[in-house]
Structure formats: C-alpha cells, structure tokens
Structure 1
C-alpha cells in the first residue's frame, strides 16, 4: 500500500470522539422497525411463505439494506427512514385482519391425546426462539456492514470507533457481538444444570473450551500476519500492535469456564459481571493503569505493545457474563403443570424489561452526575471500563425486549403451543430466512466479511470514491454476504468456529 495513502487511511479512523447515545439509539431502532414491518407482512399476508424471489428481495431490503442505509445515506436523517418503514406497517395493520389460524392456534397433543398447552412434556426444554435468532442476526448484519462502511466517507466519522472517551455505533457493535455470544453460551450452562448428576470436572471443561478457542486464535494470527505482511492500514490504539478482536473472542471461553466455576459461590451471572466491572474500574481509578493504557509510551515488551487488548479483555469478559445471565433467563421453555406458556412469556418480557431498566439506571449513575449522586465516568471502549460494560448490557437487553415483544404480538402460536411436530414449521414461518441464515453461521460470515473488507480496501481507494460508488460497493458487499449466508443455510452447512 502506498505510504501516503496508508497514512491518510490511518488518520481517517484516528482521534475520533463519537456521537450521542440518543442518535445511536435512533439509528439502531431501524432493525426492530424493519422486523416490525416484516412481521406485519408475514402475519397478515403470509408474504414470505412460500419464499419466492420477491420475498427474498423484500427480505433483503428490510433486514440488510435498511441497516446499511441507516448508517450511510440516512445517517443524518434516521427518523425519516424509520418513518418510511413504520408507515406501511401501520397501514397494513389498519387495513387487514389477523388470519383465523393465527387467532386460534391449537396446542399440540401427546400420543394419548392430552393437550400440551399448560406444562405438558415438550420436545426440547431449550427451544429455538425466533426473537433470539432475529436479535443475533441483526447484530451480525450491523457489525458486518460497519467494518467495511467505516472505510468510506459516506459512513459518518461519529459512528466510527472513538479514540479514548465517548460513544459510537461501532463501539457499541463490538460489545454487542460479545454480549450476543454470551447469550447463546447459556445453552451449555443450562444443559449442564439439567445433567447435574454427571457434572463435568473443571479441568475437562477448560480443555474443551481451549479446543474451541484454537480456531479463533488461529484466525487472529492469520489476520495479524496478513495485516503486517500486506502493509495494511491499521489503528494501533484500537487493541494494540499485535492484538485483534479474534484474540479477545478466542480467550473468552476458558476464562468464562473459570468464572462459571465461581458461579457456584455467586449464583448470579449479573453479579459476576458487575463484580468484574467494578473491580476493574476501581483499579483504573486508584492506580496508574488508566494512564498506562492511554498515554504511556509503548515499550519493547509485548504487554506494553498490546495493553489495550490485554486489559480491555476484562471488560469484554464482564459483557459476556452479562449476556450469559440474560440467556439463562430467556432460553428455557419454562413450562410446568402450574405455569402456562403465556405466563412464561410474560415472565420473559418482564425479566427483560426489569434488566433493561436496572442496567439503564446503573449507567445513569455511572456516566452522569445524576442530580449530584452520579459518578460521571465517561465511556471508554478502548479501556472497556465499567460505564462501557453497563451501556452495552442496557442496550442489548432493550433490543432483546423489543424483538421479544414483536414476536409475542405477531406470532403468538410460537410460544402458546409447546412442542409437537409443528413447532419447527411455526418457528420457521415466524423467522426471516435471511436472519436465520446469518444467525446459523454467524462467526463464519464474520470471517468472510473481514476477508471481503480487506480485499475491497486493497483493490479500491475507498477514501477517494464518491457517494454513489461507495453505496454501490456496499450494496454489492451486503448482497455477497447474504448470498454466502443463504448458500450455507440451503446446503444445511453449519460452520462452528
């Protein structure tokens, strides 16, 4: 890469201060609103059944391009895009009625003819929830879009990663990626609790988690040598000289197993997450660690060169545990002879609502003066400090609440009827095909997105293209990623990294 152009690229993503949390919330609201319109089309018109070519195009427009446009062309007027999406949904709601089959979904019955509606035995105590699939896929799409869009001028600098202090869309995306991984990791904990009679020793769990980490660490090494070998522009203060996000992801599983062992002493993962965040913040404030990470000269040792990645790992660990906490609450089917499916779903919504309010309250106390009682500590993704951890947890709980509410309102048969042969069809009909495909091979698609981002940056002078050219390239990139996701899904391939 030409040295002068490389310097321009690095300057383009350096020393940024971010934007407001309110604007970030408005921009990211496009994902739930797009799902709202998708849900109205499917629940009222069965528009995506069967999955025809027009259905694919509309699915792509709503769940992929809407997110891309919110962060680029409509970045200055996100409310306009939200109104354009929500208006047809409201018109359809007012002009159509709920199909009769949707109004009265019959519960499945067991072999002896008994209803499974209120707590009967169901096929899987840890079912697939469409709202979790949608949440994880939306997060993945935002992340994949942003990692390439950030290299173009059409992507506002206030959305790119902040240098030291502040909030931005990409800062939130990194934490949300880790949080969502924590949510789905709860399945392994719940399965282990179900088989508590044969609890696996800690050393075996550490060995298994380390094997799971190896592919991610290898990807981190490949990315490291690729960046150095190709003289690719890099933002050193993001994670350090050698560290990258794959190393953070790869080291999470074994450390999480250690803290999972501590969960026998502190049974609340929320408390574990807060405990790590608080202790880390205390050390930052009471020692020279904060200045060491932010302003100290880089020494010759590996720790000094990669101090951002090493110490921010503690914050990401807390975020992962916060995600696991909510996964444990919302994933189980939860039905029993004394508890109906509707009661379980109300409990899930209430739990998500309470968690959102609690994390939001903690964030206000941490990051503002809060009528003289707050600590007013600024958010720092580079440090992954306590306000950053709490912000990510509050945002993701709110997103989960919205997606869960949409599923509950528009596809009640998913949670009202438990188990049975038709459960797979009910889940499929209430989930976007594209969202399901992105969720199924999330990490593999993230890897493809990183490879495509590198290829585009090596082939195209992204700083010098105009808005129309940048938009065309980004739409093509999004289409390729969607095609890869759908292709893997069609072939029934699931690549677990």
Structure 2
C-alpha cells in the first residue's frame, strides 16, 4: 500500500516540478567561474592584487562575494546580463595587456631562514582547487541567509520532494568538495610508498575517523538543542525532526573508513560510488523504502529522522565520487616525454581527464533521467541516484572550468625549480578571499549559520524591501569575509 502511495505522490509532483531548470542553475553558477576568470586575468595581466591593498581587497570582495549575491537576488531574472558584465572586462584586459613576469611578484612565501630550497612537492597546493572550494563556500554562505528574504527567488530554494534547485546542488557540492581534498593523505602515502593507511586494521581506521567526527557531531548536537530551545523555524522534511547537516558530515569519515576495505578490492572510488548509488536507488524503487521516507508517519526515532538517515547513503556516494576526482586533480601533472603522440599528451593532461570525467558523469545523469533511459527524477530529499549523478557532473564541470582558467592565465606556475618558488607563484595566482574561505571553510560556515539565526530572530526578513535586504546581506557577507581574511592573515586554521 505504501509503495503505491509513493508512486502516486511521485507522479503528482513530477507533473508540477518546483525548483529551477538546469540551464537556469548553470547560468547562475557560471557567475562563480567568471568571477574567478576576471580575478585571474586582472592578476596575471595587471598584478592588481599584488600588493594586497585595501582597494585590492575591495575588488576581490566585489568579484568573489558580491557578484554571486547579485546573481541570486537583483540579477536573478537575468543572470546572463551579469555574466556579460563580468566577461567583457576580462576579455578587454586580456587583449589590451601582456602577461607580467613572475619576477615582479612582491609577495614572498613564509619560510624559515635556516631552511634551504626543497624539491617540488608531488601534491602541490593548486589555486584552481582553492578557487573552486572557496567559491562554493561563499555561495553556500550567501544562500543560507538570502533564502529568508523575498528578494531571493523561490526557485533557487530547496525543493520539497522532486526536482532540483541551486540550494539543493549547494548541499551536495559541500560534501563533494570535502571528498575531493580528503584523498590527499592517501595520495601522500602512495607517493611515499608507505601503505600504512591501507594496511591498518579496521578498528584503527575507525578510531582515527571517529576522532575527526566528534567535533562535527558535537556541532550537530549544539545546533539541535539551539534550534529546539529557541523555537527556530525549520523544515522537518529536509533532514527530519532531530537530524541536521552536521550529523551527515560527521558520520562520513567512519563510513568511508568502513568502505576502505571495499576499496582494497575495487580499486576505484568512482565505481564504488556508482555501486552504492545504484544499490540505494534499487532499494528506493523496488521496496517500500521510498514510500517510508516520503509518506510514513513519524512514530519513532527512525521514522522521525528518516530523511537524514537514508539520504546519508546518497551523500556517501557523492563523497566517494569527490574522492575519485581528487585522485585525478590533486597530483602534479607529469610532463609529456619528448616525441609523445597527441593521444599520449591528452592521456597525461589533467584538464583533458577532468573534461572527460565531466562528460561521462553528465551522460550518466542524462541516462538516469531520460525518457529513453531510466526515467528517474532528481530528489535531494532522498539523495537518490539522479541527484548523486547531477551533483557529481556539476562539480566535475566546475573544477574543470577553474583548472582551465588556472592553466590559461598562469601557465608557468608549475615550472618552478624549487618548492619555495612554486609556493610564491601559487600564492600570487590565488584570490586571498577565496583562500581564506577555503582555509577555514567549516568554521566560516558555522559562523554563517549563527549569523543567519541572529538575523532571523532580530529582523522581519520576509517583509523587508529590496534596499533593506541588500544592505543586510552585504553587511552579512562582509562580516564573514573580514573574519575569514583576518584568520588567514594571522595564520590561524580552525580545524573542526
């Protein structure tokens, strides 16, 4: 009976989807990449952000924070116009000026006087990944408060059951980006030819992962008690009565540790992610699980939190897919040997592999939702197979775009002879604001949640006019940016 109710509700929602068309979401999301492009062109051609003066900070802030805020508010009906406003200056500056040599860079890396030049790192810190993660955190922080104002279009807000939106993609992207950088330690072990991490006993791996989970689970409990204690408005259908996003993030490390045993057999995070996502979709469609999540009464702890508990499977698949991309993009690209064929050069190119990965994931998403394929519908509430594939393809494309910008504007970053020189070049090719957001991303996200609650408890956000709303939102993102940059300047990293 529940299975038929689930099917009936699905058909009813599919006939009247909420959320945004994929093209609309892509047009708004393009703002993030174009902002990075404008910043990169200005830096590579004009050295506008070296030295990093107050004026440079203001331009950095306008490009990488305010631009996305405008895209989701006053330019939400015409994001293409804002894209054009960003693209034209970038093209003009690029055509009218020449690249500046790295010798003019005045910012030097921090290093000890007693330390000699060291060899190049096999896992360099890449500006493209910093820009991708920093922009994702900025957009997430903007959206969680902007959604409470009428100036933020409802089509960008989280969808109830079926369909997708900008904020739906943001949640999955946060998990995906965490997966991308989480493989750095495993890659270091491979480079150093120490397989200690892989050979550790399961109990040891779980113990280490639990240590990483405790702060996040504690934040989840704090959020739970504060929301219930302050009677703060919440959507029960988002994660459940007691569950929240911090619980999802906190439980990822232990389950990834458990799946490490499977990785010893299936040597591909991408295949593991697909197996997990497909198996979960089979359970949703071939059993009563889908009906239970959507229409069952909330009578016990499991049923009260069923959305958060079961959608965790989909988020775990997204995290594994992020790890698979991290295995591709984080290592240093090896130079092609002399006389190598074009095919060999392409196989060796990280950008080419990223484009291919984005294409494969996009084809899988299209097949899962197409009438001639599986005919499924995206559901962030279920975190089902199409949602997993959409988030993965979207983020692969974003990373490929950022990496292409890096290679286009700063082609000589990885041609340094020493690690210190490369660090200086990478620093000169990285937005200070996006670097600061990326460095303390989870702490800034937590602060954004606290400020969002404070604003909603002290202001009638749903009844504020455009100028008032924009004033509050710009002030909010300004506070977050100042805190992030100050922490970075004082060399403070808050690990949660």
- Give the structure-1-normalised TM-score: 0.90
Q: Would you say the 8 A contact 1:277–1:318 is kept in 2?
A: yes
Taking the TM superposition and a 5 Å limit, the aligned residue runs for 1:250-399 are 250-299=250-299, 301-335=300-334, 338=337, 347-369=349-371, 372=372, 374-399=373-398
Q: Would you say the 8 A contact 1:102–1:413 is kept in 2?
A: no
Aligned mates of 1:16, 1:336 — CA distance in 2:
48
Counterpart position of 1:113: none
Task: Please report how far the alpha carbon of residue 347 of structure 1 lies from its aligned counterpart in structure 2 after TM superposition.
Answer: 1.4
Q: Which stretch shifts more, 144-153 or 121-130?
A: 121-130
Q: Would you say the 8 A contact 2:17–2:162 is kept in 1?
A: no
Residue by residue, what CA displacement relative to the aligned partner does 1:423-443 show, whole Å, maximum 9, x if unpaired?
A: 111011000000100000000
Relative distance call for 1:254 and 1:197 in structure 2 (3 A) is: closer
Counterpart position of 1:21: 22
Counterpart position of 1:464: 463
Relative distance call for 1:408 and 1:31 in structure 2 (3 A) is: same
Counterpart position of 2:59: 58
Task: Please report how far the alpha carbon of residue 125 of structure 1 lies from its aligned counterpart in structure 2 after TM superposition.
Answer: 1.5
Counterpart position of 1:107: none
| CA RMSD between the two structures | 2.1
Counterpart position of 1:68: 69
1:150 paired with 2:152, answer no
Aligned mates of 2:102, 2:214 — CA distance in 1:
48
Residue by residue, what CA displacement relative to the aligned partner does 1:111-161 show, whole Å, maximum 9, x if unpaired?
A: xxxxx9xxxx93322110000000000000010000000111011000000
Aligned mates of 1:337, 1:83 — CA distance in 2:
37
Q: Would you say the 8 A contact 2:378–2:387 is kept in 1?
A: yes
- From 116, 123, 128, the counterpart of 1:126: 123
Aligned mates of 2:151, 2:119 — CA distance in 1:
50
Counterpart position of 2:11: none
Aligned mates of 1:475, 1:185 — CA distance in 2:
32
- From 150, 175, 196, the counterpart of 2:194: 196
Counterpart position of 2:246: 246
Counterpart position of 1:402: 401
Residue correspondences, number: 463
Counterpart position of 1:483: 482
Task: Please report how far the alpha carbon of residue 421 of structure 1 lies from its aligned counterpart in structure 2 after TM superposition.
Answer: 2.3
Task: Please report how far the alpha carbon of residue 261 of structure 1 lies from its aligned counterpart in structure 2 after TM superposition.
Answer: 2.0
Aligned mates of 1:368, 1:16 — CA distance in 2:
16
Aligned mates of 1:228, 1:61 — CA distance in 2:
36
Counterpart position of 1:36: 37
Aligned mates of 1:210, 1:418 — CA distance in 2:
40
Counterpart position of 2:47: 46
Aligned mates of 1:339, 1:453 — CA distance in 2:
56
Task: Please report how far the alpha carbon of residue 368 of structure 1 lies from its aligned counterpart in structure 2 after TM superposition.
Answer: 1.5
Aligned mates of 1:50, 1:333 — CA distance in 2:
28
Counterpart position of 2:230: 230
Relative distance call for 1:213 and 1:469 in structure 2 (3 A) is: same
Aligned mates of 1:245, 1:230 — CA distance in 2:
18
Q: Would you say the 8 A contact 2:38–2:90 is kept in 1?
A: yes
Gaps of 5+ in 2: 1-15, 105-116
Aligned mates of 1:429, 1:345 — CA distance in 2:
29
Aligned mates of 1:254, 1:364 — CA distance in 2:
32
Q: Would you say the 8 A contact 2:347–2:353 is kept in 1?
A: no
Relative distance call for 1:101 and 1:243 in structure 2 (3 A) is: closer
Task: Please report how far the alpha carbon of residue 90 of structure 1 lies from its aligned counterpart in structure 2 after TM superposition.
Answer: 0.9
Counterpart position of 1:161: 158
Q: Would you say the 8 A contact 2:47–2:100 is kept in 1?
A: no
Aligned mates of 2:134, 2:242 — CA distance in 1:
29
Relative distance call for 1:44 and 1:170 in structure 2 (3 A) is: same
Relative distance call for 1:101 and 1:442 in structure 2 (3 A) is: closer
Q: Would you say the 8 A contact 2:135–2:434 is kept in 1?
A: yes
Aligned mates of 1:102, 1:400 — CA distance in 2:
28
Q: Would you say the 8 A contact 2:216–2:246 is kept in 1?
A: yes
Report the 3-state secondary structure (helix = DSSP H, G, I; strand = E; otherwise coil) of the residue aligned with 1:446.
Answer: helix
Aligned mates of 2:289, 2:129 — CA distance in 1:
37
Task: Please report how far the alpha carbon of residue 295 of structure 1 lies from its aligned counterpart in structure 2 after TM superposition.
Answer: 1.1
Relative distance call for 1:376 and 1:246 in structure 2 (3 A) is: same
Task: Please report how far the alpha carbon of residue 335 of structure 1 lies from its aligned counterpart in structure 2 after TM superposition.
Answer: 3.2
- Give the structure-2-normalised TM-score: 0.90
Q: Which stretch shifts more, 449-458 or 418-427?
A: 418-427
Gaps of 5+ in 1: 1-14, 104-115
Task: Please report how far the alpha carbon of residue 196 of structure 1 lies from its aligned counterpart in structure 2 after TM superposition.
Answer: 2.9
Following TM superposition, where does structure 1 have runs of at least 4 consecutive aligned residues deviating by more than 4 angstroms? 100-103, 336-340, 342-346
Report the 3-state secondary structure (helix = DSSP H, G, I; strand = E; otherwise coil) of the residue aligned with 2:57.
Answer: helix
Report the 3-state secondary structure (helix = DSSP H, G, I; strand = E; otherwise coil) of the residue aligned with 1:335.
Answer: coil
Relative distance call for 1:264 and 1:326 in structure 2 (3 A) is: same
Aligned mates of 1:102, 1:85 — CA distance in 2:
28
Relative distance call for 1:204 and 1:470 in structure 2 (3 A) is: same
Relative distance call for 1:322 and 1:186 in structure 2 (3 A) is: same
Aligned mates of 1:421, 1:239 — CA distance in 2:
46
Q: Would you say the 8 A contact 2:122–2:331 is kept in 1?
A: yes
Taking the TM superposition and a 5 Å limit, the aligned residue runs for 1:85-234 are 85-101=86-102, 122-193=119-190, 194-198=192-196, 199-234=199-234
